[in-house]
């Protein structure tokens, strides 16, 4: 097929697509997408093209579809689920980071003291946040022991895992570290009633974990502040004390003694 024949075939293909789109009452795809389809498929079959176009598969697959599907997996409280417009506006600015979106959306749902403290606490180091989480799990006893987050960089945590997990689990964790050297540090070991890849849960977003449970954590801290001062002093001194002092308009003076 020479250049002129190919051009004529492309024009005919485009006209057929336009006719099908008009018949179905849907928008016409761009010329760029039509060209991308032709280059990827190496053919100009109108029926197959329309099938891919309508089902958003192949070159027409949109990342926001996967993003929206992930958002829909969460059990949103009434009135708190984001709208498609909010999702589209956020992704246009920030890309398709589901964890980032959930974290920001949840933070924005908090008000007053909860909002002030969560915005401050997520500036702390992940290790500090993991220690806070683990103490909250221990102190509150609201969630199962398998909610504990292990730090693979911590000697005590690593030794506990080595002594208490099956060889199969240890080998799996070692493989995770080897294959994802810079992305695996914090894990949870869930109840062993599922596949090993589901039982060993990697925590990629520590801040997101804290954000999701922040109202519960704040309630425990404010009810048992003395315990948290003793066991999570950095959080109390760098987050809660300054914010409470500021809200109560209590001036702060350095101890020069």
CB 173 within 8 A of CB 200: yes
d(CA 111, CA 242): 18
| pTM more than 0.85 | no
Q: Are 227 and 139 in contact (CB under 8 A)?
A: yes
What would the mean pLDDT of 31-45 be, rounded to a whole number? 82
Residue with tokens 């004529």: 8
**Rounded Cα distance, 89 and 123, in Å:** 25
DSSP calls for 7-32:
HHHHHHHHHHHHHHHHHHT-PPPPHH
Beta bridge partners of 150: 187
- pLDDT recorded at residue 182: 59
Q: How confident is the model at residue 120 (pLDDT cuts 50, 70, 90)?
A: very high
Where residue 104 falls among pLDDT bands split at 50, 70, 90? Answer: confident
Is 255 a residue whose pLDDT tops 60?
A: no
Angle at 211 (CA atoms; ends 105, 226), nearest 5 degrees: 145
Residues in a beta bridge with 187: 150, 202
- pLDDT band (50, 70, 90) for residue 75: low
């Amino acid at each position: 097929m020479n250049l002129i024949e190919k051009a004529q075939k492309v024009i005919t293909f485009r006209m057929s697509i336009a006719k099908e789109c008009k018949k179905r009452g849907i928008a016409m795809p761009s010329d760029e997408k039509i060209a991308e389809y032709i280059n990827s498929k190496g053919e100009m079959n109108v029926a197959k093209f329309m099938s891919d176009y309508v089902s958003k598969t192949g070159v027409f697959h949109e990342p926001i579809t996967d993003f929206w599907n992930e958002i829909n997996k969460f059990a949103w409280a009434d009135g708190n689920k984001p709208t498609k417009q909010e999702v589209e506006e956020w992704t246009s600015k920030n890309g398709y980071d589901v964890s980032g979106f959930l974290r920001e959306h949840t933070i924005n749902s908090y008000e007053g003291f909860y909002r002030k403290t969560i915005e401050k606490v997520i500036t702390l180091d992940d290790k500090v946040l993991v220690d806070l989480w683990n103490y909250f799990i221990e102190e509150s006893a609201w969630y199962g022991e398998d909610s504990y987050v292990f730090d693979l960089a911590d000697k005590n945590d690593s030794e506990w895992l080595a002594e208490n997990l099956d060889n199969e689990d240890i080998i799996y964790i070692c493989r995770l570290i080897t294959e994802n050297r810079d992305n695996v540090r914090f894990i949870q070991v869930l109840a062993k009633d599922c596949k090993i890849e589901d039982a060993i849960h990697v925590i990629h977003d520590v801040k997101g974990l804290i954000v999701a449970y922040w109202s519960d954590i704040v309630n425990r801290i404010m009810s048992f502040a003395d315990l948290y001062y003793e066991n999570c002093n950095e959080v109390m001194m760098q987050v809660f004390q300054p914010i409470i002092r500021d809200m109560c308009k209590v001036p702060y003076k350095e101890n020069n003694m």
